């Protein structure tokens, strides 16, 4: 279709609608209210046995999200969350994994908010999960294992490689082992 025909069709279709920029300036955010919700959420997760690292992540991520959205946690809508996640992905150019981690933190938080009756409807129910291809992991071949062993220059490096190969421990778990 010629440009003029497309323009005329859009004019006809949009003539029944008003389009205006969303205005959130009148929203007054109560930082103490958000921090109170976060503190209660973190305390609940701590009582549930979450690690310090997990609790620290939840807290910092929720503070970052609520600061970016600039609304009270109990007033945030699914659209606010979708927009935040889209901006993280497109503007900040973070990975889908990072965006999904933010989504999961929000999902846990808002699930807790509903469960504790701070809100009646979970905005995360309207936010889709991130779809991304996870890289397929392959087991080391015998040759790979021998190359790893051959690359060790010290007894310490050899011990680390042998410990990882024989226990299937994660690197982070090995790092947390106290030598004493």
Question: In tens digits, what is the pLDDT along the chain, a chain of 180 residues?
Answer: 667 667 667 677 777 777 766 655 545 556 689 999 999 999 999 999 999 999 999 999 999 999 999 999 999 999 999 999 999 988 888 888 899 999 999 999 999 999 999 999 999 999 988 787 777 888 889 999 999 999 999 999 999 999 999 998 888 888 888 878
pTM for this prediction: 0.64
Q: Which pair of tokens denotes residue 160? A: 């680390």
Say if CB 174 and CB 163 are below 8 A apart: yes
Supply the pLDDT for residue 24: 55
pLDDT on residue 177: 84
Task: Write the DSSP assignment of 97-165 as a string of letters.
Answer: HHHHHHHHHHHHHHHHHHHTTS-SS-GGGGSPPP--PPPPP-PPPHHHHHHHHHH--SHHHHHHHHHHH
């Amino acid at each position: 279709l010629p440009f003029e025909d497309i323009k005329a069709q859009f004019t006809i279709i949009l003539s029944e609608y008003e389009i205006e920029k969303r205005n959130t300036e009148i929203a007054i955010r109560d930082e103490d209210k958000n921090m109170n919700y976060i503190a209660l959420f973190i305390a609940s997760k701590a009582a549930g046995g979450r690690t310090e690292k997990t609790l620290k992540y939840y807290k910092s991520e929720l503070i970052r999200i609520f600061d970016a959205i600039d609304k009270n946690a109990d007033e945030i809508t699914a659209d606010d969350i979708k927009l935040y996640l889209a901006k993280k992905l497109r503007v900040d150019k973070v990975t889908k994994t990072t965006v999904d981690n933010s989504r999961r933190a929000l999902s846990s938080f808002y699930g807790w908010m509903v469960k504790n009756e701070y809100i009646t409807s979970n905005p995360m129910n309207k936010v889709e999960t991130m779809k991304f291809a996870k890289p397929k992991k392959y087991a080391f071949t015998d040759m790979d294992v021998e190359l790893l062993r051959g690359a060790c220059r010290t007894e310490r490096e050899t011990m680390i490689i042998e410990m990882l190969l024989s226990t299937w421990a994660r690197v982070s778990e090995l790092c947390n082992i106290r030598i004493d």
